[in-house]
Amino acid sequence: MARSMHRTRAALFALGALALIGASSVVIVGEGDQAVITRFGAPLNVVNRFSPSASGAGAVLKLPFFDRVIWLARGLQSYSIGDQKVHTIDEQTLLVDVDVTYRIIDPVRLISTLGGGDRVDDQIKAILPSLIEEQLSQRNAAVIAQPGSGGSSLQILSALDSKLRAYGVQAVDFRVGRVVLPEGGQSIAFTRMENHHGGKVAVIDVASAQDAQRIVAESEAESARILQKSASQDLAFYDYFSAMRNYEANFGDPARKGAATIVIPPGSDYLKHFNGK
């Protein structure tokens, strides 16, 4: 009886061991994962490696106790940096938020260089700030705030992708999000804008005054020319016009009312224009 129970326990233990070994020999890889199987630390196989058109998800066999599975994301991943300081070409200091989208395209290279997928963000964090400053510092603040930042986003994406390829990673997208002035920077910017526009207004005022003087001088010259031409053609009209101008100068200005008194005899030629003669 005791021997029979011992044999039963041994059989159950053997079955449990076989079940454990069998379970540890099968790896189920989902659609959203990549799996790198290593043996004694060396990459042996990549399961469900990223491909635009095919999927290798499913069950895969491995040697228990000898093979190890390193899991990596297969789809797109994102990384963001906030309040990155940028000095622009128009002497502004901006704080920008940027977003990076990437994917792992060479799992073996990634494992060999970085050791795991959790190290990708650290690598981007080390690379990206210098690329941002290099490209955005060549633009003014207004351009940086526009979509695409005047072409800077594409250039940063290209440079970032070139560097990440060495780690088996592809940079898919780069975007500049929020763009703001730091505390104290707004008042400085407004003062600079006010001074800039104030200088433009002063230049416009000077130019306008010069144009006005020129127009008045040209008008007076043209008036004198027309008057001289009229005088040579009609002396009677010229005498009449001269009398009117003289009368206007002496009595037409309300501010000069009572300031001048002229004593003229009734037969004066000056009065003949006012007597209808």
Q: Which residues 6+ apart lie within 8 Å of 34 measured at CB?
A: 46, 47, 48, 49, 50, 71, 72, 73, 74, 104, 107
Q: Are strands 26-29 and 58-61 parallel, antiparallel or unpaired?
A: antiparallel
Cα–Cα dist 14/43, whole Å: 31
Query: Could you tell me the pLDDT band of residue 249, with boundaries at 50, 70 and 90?
Result: low
Cα–Cα dist 183/49, whole Å: 47
Tell me if 140 sits within 8 A of 90, measured CB to CB: yes
Most confident of 10-24, 34-48, 177-191, 247-261: 34-48
Q: Where along the chain do its domains lie?
A: 2-73, 77-182, 194-233, 234-277
> Long-range CB contacts (< 8 A, 24+ apart) of 239-243?
239/273, 240/273, 243/270, 243/273
Q: Give the distance, in angstroms, between the CA of residue 241 and the centroid of all CA atoms in the same chain.
A: 68
CATH fold of 77-182 reads Tetrahydropterin Synthase; Chain A (3.30.479)
- Asked if pLDDT for residue 116 goes beyond 80, the answer is yes
Give tens-digit pLDDT for 165-180: 999 999 999 999 888 8
Q: For 89-93, what is the mean pLDDT?
A: 88
Most confident of 24-33, 125-134, 183-192: 125-134
Q: What is the mean pLDDT of the chain?
A: 77
Cα–Cα dist 139/177, whole Å: 16
Give tens-digit pLDDT for 18-70: 444 444 567 778 888 888 888 888 888 888 888 877 777 777 767 777 788 88
Q: Which residues 6+ apart lie within 8 Å of 275 measured at CB?
A: none
For the whole model, what pTM was predicted?
Answer: 0.59
